[in-house]
Amino acid sequence: MFRFILRRLLETIPVLWAVATLTFIMLRMAPGGPFDAERQVTPEVLEQLNAQYGLDQSLPRQYATQLWNLARGDLGVSFKYPNRTVNEVIAETFPISLELGVYAILIALVIGMITGLVASLRPNTMTDYVPSALAMVGICLPTFVLGPLLILLFVIKLGWLPMSGWTSIPSAKILPALTLGLYFAAYVSRLTRGGMREILTQDYIRTARAKGASETRVILKHALRGGILPVVSFLGPAVAGLIAGSFVIETIFNIPGLGKFFVTSAFNRDYTMVLGLVVFFASLIVFFNLVVDILQIWLNPRLKYE
């Protein structure tokens, strides 16, 4: 186990280096610069700004400096918010995105696994067709469509929930979490159904039933552990994306999370902010993929650490 984790951590170094390098190159190739949107300034002031942020240096020098700062955990100072560092922005906004992501994960797992399990137990019946059809609709319905539809229903028509914002009031968090969770619940439902249908046809399931085990014991003790393996594999990048925050959801519901800063920094050509957030997102994905690999080995002993 220790060698497996150590090897995976060492493998993340070239991955994060490649992500940082590609992000740096694409940012510099994109038209415009971080100070183009500012009010008209004199060439002298613009030269001072470039010198302050190191943009007057050659590209290889800028690249080496940013890589060294990333290796030290220093993500730099934001171009758009010169009085704040990228580390401070992440520390302030990530807990909000984390809270939203946790709520959405719980909704996705509860709704998705229950509907997928129900659909797998009675295939080719209405209890299979209805959840499967709803899951397919959920997959085809993006969050930027689902969000306004839920606002139209629960806010404008019924008046049950507030429209936007992220406050300490629990009702203000229901719609964003529900919008994000329902979208991923559709994938979890389809994966749960497919995984359970495959497991339920295995020989050891027929053997358990032949020994007189109850259907509940067969499902929960024997089949579910292997049936949720596709869900566990899917949760690696999905959980990272959920916890990092959905850009669309945070924009629709005016949530001051990490995703909102990422969108604005991309439009503003905030080089340090974009690079820092991309590396941070990539680190989250790598971490959760490692956790998922460990869970898969625990759930399926036939897998090896190699």
Opening angle at CA 45, ends 39 and 49, nearest 5: 90
- pTM attached to this predicted model: 0.75
pLDDT at 60: 86
- Grade residue 279 by pLDDT with cuts at 50, 70 and 90: confident
Residue 168 to residue 99: CA distance in whole angstroms:
12
Q: Decide if 195 contacts 188 (C-beta within 8 A).
A: no
* Mean pLDDT confidence for 243-255: 74
164-187, pLDDT tens digit by residue? Answer: 667 777 777 888 888 888 888 888
**Pair of tokens at residue 220:** 């929960």
pLDDT at 212: 81
What is the DSSP code string of 195-258?
HHHHHTTSHHHHHHHHTT--HHHIIIIIIHHHHTHHHHHHHHHHHHHHHH--HHHHHHTT--SH
Domains and CATH numbers, the chain: 94-299 (1.10.3720.10)
Among 14-28, 150-164, 259-273, the range with the most confident prediction by mean pLDDT is 14-28
110-165, pLDDT tens digit by residue? Answer: 888 888 888 888 877 888 788 888 888 877 777 778 878 888 888 888 878 877 66
pLDDT at 41: 61
pLDDT at 139: 76
Of 223, 9, 233, nearest to 117 by C-alpha is 223
Q: Measured between alpha carbons, how far is residue 124 from residues 120, 131, 132 in Å?
A: 9, 11, 10
pLDDT at 300: 65
Residue 49 to residue 80: CA distance in whole angstroms:
12
Q: Helix, strand or coil for residue 85?
A: strand
Mean pLDDT of the chain: 79
Q: Decide if 302 contacts 228 (C-beta within 8 A).
A: no
23-72, pLDDT tens digit by residue? Answer: 888 887 877 666 665 556 666 766 776 676 777 777 888 888 888 888 88
